[in-house]
């Protein structure tokens, strides 16, 4: 899941490390899901990560 920002706007450089960490964590969890299959706790972790990213996007005005 790639963070979405408004067209024509560059992500704020102060948010770049957070974006990289969230994206990396999401990719790791998705890879783990593929490797071990479906697992309720893994699915919950992925949903929580996606929810947190959505909240951050809203709170930063899409600047993530």
Whether pTM > 0.85 for this model: the answer is no
Is the model's pLDDT at 62 over the cut of 60?
A: yes
Handedness of CA 19, 21, 26, 27 (dihedral sign): positive
How far is residue 16's CA from residue 40's CA, in Å, rounded to a whole number?
30
**How many angstroms separate the CA atoms of 64 and 18, rounded?**
8
pLDDT in tens, 7-49: 445 556 777 787 788 888 888 888 988 998 888 888 898 888 8
């Amino acid at each position: 899941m790639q963070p979405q920002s408004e067209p024509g706007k560059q992500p704020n450089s102060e948010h770049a490390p957070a974006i990289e960490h969230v994206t990396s964590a999401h990719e790791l969890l998705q890879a783990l899901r593929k490797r071990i299959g479906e697992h309720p706790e893994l699915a919950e972790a992925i949903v929580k990560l996606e929810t947190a990213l959505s909240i951050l996007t809203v709170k930063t005005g899409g600047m993530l």
